[in-house]
Amino acid sequence: MKILVAVKRVVDANVKVRLKADGSDVDVGAAKMSMNPFDENAVEAAVRLKEAGQASEIVAVSVGPAGAQDTLRHALAMGADRAILIDSGDVAIDALSSAKLLRQVAEREQPQLILLGKQAIDEDAAVVGPMLAALLNRPQAVAASQITVESADTLTVVREIEGGQQTVRVPLPAVVTADLRLNEPRYVKLPNLMQARKKPIETLTPEALGVTLSAHHRLLGVNEPPARAAGQRVNSVEELINRLRADTRVLP
Amino acid sequence: MKILLVAEHHQGQLRPATRHAVTAARQLGEQIDAVIAGADLSAVAAELATLAGINRVLQLDTAAQISPEQLAPALVNLAADYDVILAAAGTLSRDVLPRVAALLDVNMLPDLIRIESADTFVRPTYAGNVQARVQSLDARRVLSIRAPAFAATGTQAAAPIETRSFAADASQPHSSWLAEVQPHSDRPELTNARVVVSGGRALGSAEGFDTLLHPLASKLNAAIGASRAAVDEGFAPNEAQVGQTGVVVAPELYIAIGISGAVQHLAGMKDSGIVVAINSDPDAPIFQHADYSLVGDLFSVVPELTARL
Ligand SMILES: Cc1cc2nc3c(=O)[nH]c(=O)nc-3n(C[C@H](O)[C@H](O)[C@H](O)COP(=O)(O)OP(=O)(O)OC[C@H]3O[C@@H](n4cnc5c(N)ncnc54)[C@H](O)[C@@H]3O)c2cc1C
Ligand SMILES: Nc1ncnc2c1ncn2[C@@H]1O[C@H](COP(=O)(O)O)[C@@H](O)[C@H]1O
């Protein structure tokens, strides 16, 4: 089974993003960038399938600026065999356009399984996986917390849904998106990174893939959410209850 | 502006979030049809027809567990008559609407918290640290809204219900439903509760949740929430996780107990009416987002609180 894993370069989860002074967009300028955490789960799942002898090759793919090479190196260091950068320059790419670019790569690579993260923590959209599945007319399993290979052409996937878990059977080829609970991504050690340097990263452009990107929406501006009014310290449980009784009707 | 509202139901109940989606739809226009798909729908379809603002209910009678892959093309067919396809953010919208959007060759704008005009919306990004104003350039718009950001619509005299038979295309590659685990609880649904009592890593164990949080939640008729750390440690079930990657709640009262207040957690609760934080560390970040801060050891504070209520 050949696996394609889509990885996105995003502002590191521990960084608090700043806004540009003119409010036009977030300022990612000097921020530390990392692989989207959910995509680490996706890569980890792919590598474990390969280690278990259930996957033959893992190809990592990223759509982004040249800097996304670092993200692909990380995927290679985790265990991907080769990588493809779709260099979209510095323009922001919307979800549909990303899905269309990924579709072209999938058409070329013909993977049995495409793994993505459930959501990218910059836009928090959680749409590219099912969009890609629809464009390829493939079945999907969104927010997987467990993936089991049942046979050469079927997976069983446990997925996180509102209020619980659901188990689905998914015929291959398919698209699966990873929840954080899927696994614990491995740490990359220096020797892994050294080895990853020898693995190939191919660079493609949207034009080379025959995709013309068109804008589907315009970002008019960004702001911080309104801050909550400063709260108060209460010194005892009794004081807390008195305040809550004064403020709300929800106490018994 | 014609709007197709995709209603969600579960275990024979209309999802409460649907009522909030109708309010969002009404901000976009007057002509709102609701579509609901599944088996044995008559009761939920009838309820849907009484949500104030709905002009017509389209009831698609399908197999009990219709796959997203098979439902999406059916919605795409209906979409031809509408300018907007809209649902409340939830399992159904996350599974199906991105597929619908891609098949319509439009982008999807998920998790809207404000509707400024027919094409301009506000949505949170970066774990809720940023609010982005976006203008859709697509002729047809596929949207989901966050239920807590919109009030629930009222009721009306029932709108007409049109039943449509639906033959799922078996040749369409699709996933099939095998099983579902939905722990039964007498408590209100987390996303819809007026009070949420949430516990963090500091609870220390599943027994901590059982012996400290559950009695308090019972007194308050509250749902139980948890931080990711508490879920990862196995103290609370996955579906209790509140935050960027869990559920987003905005109850009238949110009580955060032994939770530090990481941005990813705040993303799921900071629009709550009143926030109470109980934490032993006076510098815990959660206190900056709380209306009432109580510094103390939860193992003594929580039993006292429960006893005094
Ligand atoms: C991509 C990503 C997504 C994430 N998504 C989520 C999400 O959806 N939801 C979420 O919650 N987290 C999420 N996280 C994790 C988040 O960053 C934090 O790690 C997590 O919220 C911490 O949980 P906590 O507050 O329970 O634990 P801790 O940070 O360990 O805090 C425990 C708190 O308990 C207090 N305490 C200790 N003992 C006592 C006592 N006896 N009495 C009272 N207080 C005490 C401590 O002072 C401390 O403030 C995500 C992280 C990443 C990277
Ligand atoms: N620019 C991109 N390059 C590679 N993969 C991406 C890109 N954008 C999104 N993805 C994949 O799609 C998933 C969901 O992203 P999103 O729908 O934007 O939240 C991510 O976790 C990635 O696996």
Residue located nearest, by CA, to atom 8 of ligand 2: A8
- Of the candidates A219, A123, A60, the one whose C-alpha atom is nearest the C-alpha of residue B133 is A219
Chain-chain contact of A219 with B173 (C-beta, under 8 angstroms): no
Angle CA(A184)–CA(A189)–CA(A190) in degrees, nearest 5?
160
Query: Can you tell me the mean pLDDT for A151-167?
Result: 95
- Of the candidates B97, B93, B75, the one whose C-alpha atom is nearest the C-alpha of residue B8 is B93
- B39-96: pLDDT as tens digits: 999 999 999 999 999 999 999 999 889 999 999 999 999 999 999 999 999 999 999 9
pLDDT higher than 80, residue B126: yes
Smallest CA–CA distance from A232 into chain B, residue: B292
Would you place residue A7 in the very low, low, confident or very high pLDDT band (cuts 50, 70, 90)? very high
Query: Can you tell me the mean pLDDT for A161-188?
Result: 96
> Residues of B numbered 237-266 whose beta carbons fall under 8 angstroms of chain A's beta carbons: which are they?
238-239, 244-245, 247, 252-253, 263-264
Running DSSP on this structure, what letter comes out for residue B210? I
More confident residue, A91 or B67: B67
3-state secondary structure of B264: helix
Task: Report how far residue A111's alpha carbon sits from residue A5's, in angstroms, rounded to the nearest whole number.
Answer: 10
Q: What stretches of chain B adopt beta strand conformation (E)?
A: 2-6, 9-10, 13-14, 31-38, 56-61, 84-88, 108-112, 114-115, 120-125, 130-136, 141-145, 161-165, 176-181, 195-199, 223-226, 253-257, 274-279, 292-295
Of the residues A101, A128, A175, which should be mutated to test ligand 2's pocket, given the most ligand atoms within 8 Å of the CB? Answer: A128
- What long-range pairs does A12-15 form, CB within 8 A, spacing at least 24? A13/A37, A13/A121, A13/B264
**pLDDT for position B183:** 77
How many other C-beta atoms are found inside a 10 Å radius of the C-beta of residue A146?
Answer: 16
The pLDDT mean for chain B works out to 96
Place of tokens 């900056």: B288
- Of the candidates B287, B280, B286, the one whose C-alpha atom is nearest the C-alpha of residue B301 is B280
In angstroms, what CA-CA distances link B195 with A166, A251, B90, B268? 27, 9, 20, 14
Pair A113, A174: CB distance under 8 Å: yes
Task: Report how far residue B281's alpha carbon sits from residue B283's, in angstroms, rounded to the nearest whole number.
Answer: 5
Interior/surface letters B2-23, b for 16+ CB within 10 angstroms, e for the rest: ebbbbbbbbeeebbebbbbbbb
Residue B61 C-beta-side C-alpha neighbours within 13 Å: 9
pLDDT higher than 80, residue A158: yes
Asked if the C-beta of B304 comes within 8 angstroms of chain A's C-beta atoms, the answer is yes
Q: Is A68 in the pocket of ligand 2 (CB under 6 A)?
A: no
- A206-215: pLDDT as tens digits: 999 999 888 9
Contacts of B275 in chain A (CB under 8 A): 228, 231
Running DSSP on this structure, what letter comes out for residue B211? I
Place of tokens 């049109």: B162
Task: Report how far residue B116's alpha carbon sits from residue B122's, in angstroms, rounded to the nearest whole number.
Answer: 7
Torsion of Cα atoms, A118 then B270 then B293 then B257, to 10°? -30
**Which candidate in B143, B245, B264 is best for mutational testing of the A interface (most A CBs within 10 A)?**
B245
The CATH class given to the B2-165 domain equals: alpha beta
Residue ranges of the binding site of B = 201, 227-228, 241-245, 258-265, 279
Amino acid sitting at position B14: L
Torsion of Cα atoms, B79 then B84 then B88 then B90, to 10°? 50
| Cα A218 to chain centroid, rounded | 22
Task: Report how far residue B70's alpha carbon sits from residue B145's, in angstroms, rounded to the nearest whole number.
Answer: 23
- B254-299: pLDDT as tens digits: 999 999 999 999 999 999 999 999 999 999 999 999 999 999 999 9
Contacts of B292 in chain A (CB under 8 A): 231-232, 234, 240, 243-244
- Spatial neighbors of B117 by CB under 8 A, at least 6 apart, are none
Q: What's the CATH architecture for B190-308?
A: 3-Layer(aba) Sandwich (3.40)
- Beta B130-136 vs B120-125: how paired, if at all? antiparallel
Instruction: State the burial class of residue B304 (Cβ atoms within 10 Å of its Cβ: 0-12, 13-18, 19+).
Output: middle
Of the residues A116, A123, A182, A213, which should be mutated to test ligand 2's pocket, given the most ligand atoms within 8 Å of the CB? Answer: A116
3-state secondary structure of A191: helix
Query: Can you tell me the mean pLDDT for A228-246?
Result: 93
CB pairs under 8 A between A and B: 244
Running DSSP on this structure, what letter comes out for residue B126? T
Spans of all domains in chain A: 2-219
**pLDDT for position A198:** 95
Task: Report how far residue B134's alpha carbon sits from residue B117's, in angstroms, rounded to the nearest whole number.
Answer: 11
CATH topology of domain A2-219: Rossmann fold (3.40.50)
Task: Report how far residue A160's alpha carbon sits from residue B256's, in angstroms, rounded to the nearest whole number.
Answer: 23
Q: Is A37 in the pocket of ligand 2 (CB under 6 A)?
A: no
Task: Record the tokens describing residue A163, joined without a space.
Answer: 């209020």
Q: What share of chain A in percent tops pLDDT 70?
A: 100
Instruction: State the burial class of residue B91 (Cβ atoms within 10 Å of its Cβ: 0-12, 13-18, 19+).
Output: buried
Residue A35 C-beta-side C-alpha neighbours within 13 Å: 30
3-state secondary structure of B217: helix
**pLDDT for position A80:** 98
Task: Report how far residue A8's alpha carbon sits from residue B299's, in angstroms, rounded to the nearest whole number.
Answer: 42
Would you place residue A131 in the very low, low, confident or very high pLDDT band (cuts 50, 70, 90)? very high
Would you place residue B118 in the very low, low, confident or very high pLDDT band (cuts 50, 70, 90)? very high
Task: Report how far residue B309's alpha carbon sits from residue B307's, in angstroms, rounded to the nearest whole number.
Answer: 6
Query: Can you tell me the mean pLDDT for A216-223?
Result: 96
Q: Is A34 in the pocket of ligand 2 (CB under 6 A)?
A: no
Min Cα separation B14/chain A (Å): 14
Of the residues B197, B238, B241, B279, which should be mutated to test ligand 1's pocket, given the most ligand atoms within 8 Å of the CB? Answer: B279
Task: Report how far residue B150's alpha carbon sits from residue B27's, in angstroms, rounded to the nearest whole number.
Answer: 10
CA B300 / ligand 1 centre spacing (Å)? 20
pLDDT higher than 90, residue B182: no
Query: Can you tell me the mean pLDDT for B190-194?
Result: 91
- Of the candidates A100, A185, A178, A94, the one whose C-alpha atom is nearest the C-alpha of residue A140 is A178
Spans of all domains in chain B: 2-165, 190-308
**pLDDT for position B168:** 85
pLDDT higher than 90, residue A73: yes
Q: In the beta sheet, which residues pair with residue A5?
A: A60, A115
